[in-house]
Amino acid sequence: MQGLTYFIPTQKKAEYINLLLKVGFDTIDFGSFVSPQAIPQMKDTAEVLDKLDLSETNTELLAIVANIRGIQDATSHPQINYIGFPFSVSETFQQRNTNSTISNALLVVDELVLQCEKYDKTPVVYLSMGFGNPYGDIWNEEIVSHYAGILVEKGVKVLSLADTIGVANHSQIGSLFKKLTNQFSQIEIGVHLHSNENSWQEKINAAYVNGCRRFDTTIKGYGGCPMALDELTGNIATENVIAYLTNKGENLNLQSEAWIKANQLATEIFH
C-alpha cells in the first residue's frame, strides 16, 4: 500500500487485513512504523493494529521499521511478532530508503536485535538491492554474503533476499540463495522478489528448487518500493505463488472463502 498516491481509510485497511488473517497465511506484513512525512500511507499503522481481530487466527504479524524510533514504537505493541528492517547492500539506496549510511544502519540492527530479545519478538532483515542496483554501486555475491554474515553474527534470525527493483534473473536467484543457505544453515532465509508478469514463475521456481519456503507476496502483485525508482516494479502476486506451490504438491491449508473475499476487497482498494 505504501506506494499508493491516495490514502486508504483506516477502517478499510483493517477490514482488508482482518480478511487476510482468516485465510491462513503464515505471516502478514500489516504496516510500518515510519515517518508519516516519508510514507503518509502508513501514518495510521497503530490505529489499524488496534482494529485487528487476532482471536481466531494463527497468522503472525510483521511490522516494518526504518530507525530506532520505529523500533521503539513497534516493540510497544504485544500483538506484533516480527519486526522487519530494510538493510541495503547499496550505500546509495540505504541513504535513499532510510536516510542513513550502511554503518548507521548496522547500529540500528544492533538495537533491533536487542529490543526484539527484550520484548520477545523476532527480527527480520531484508537484504535490499540484494541482486544489483541502478545506482552504480558495486554489487556481487561476495558483498551480499559479507553483510549477511555480519547480520547473522549480530543475532538476526530471519533474512529476506530482496530484489528491490526486479533486476534478478532465475540463475542469479538460485545461485545466491543456495550460497547463503549453505553458509548460514542455522537461520531462516526467504525471498522478497519483484517482477513483471512474464518472469515471476522462473524467479519463484529458482528459489523454490533451491530450498526456499518463505516467500513475500502481495495480492494481485500490486506494490513496489517508492523509495527506489520513479516507476514501481510490482511484487510477486500471491495468487501466482499459491498456484505454483499447489502445483508442486504443497499443502497450504488456506481457507478459500476468506481468500475469495480478500481478493474481491483488494480489487476495490487497489484501483
| pLDDT at site 164 | 80
Q: Which of 76, 64, 79, 45 is nearest to 124 (CA)?
A: 64
C-alpha cell at 80: 506484533
| pLDDT at site 6 | 86
- Whole-angstrom Cα distance, residue 137 to residue 260? 43
C-alpha cell at 45: 499503522
Q: Determine the topology of domain 10-269 in CATH.
A: TIM Barrel (3.20.20)
Q: 64, 33 in Cβ contact below 8 A? A: yes
Domain locations in the chain? 10-269
| pLDDT at site 177 | 96
Task: Split the chain (271 residues) into runs of 10 and give each run's mean pLDDT.
Answer: 84 97 98 92 97 97 97 98 97 94 98 98 96 91 97 97 89 96 96 87 96 94 52 77 97 96 91 70
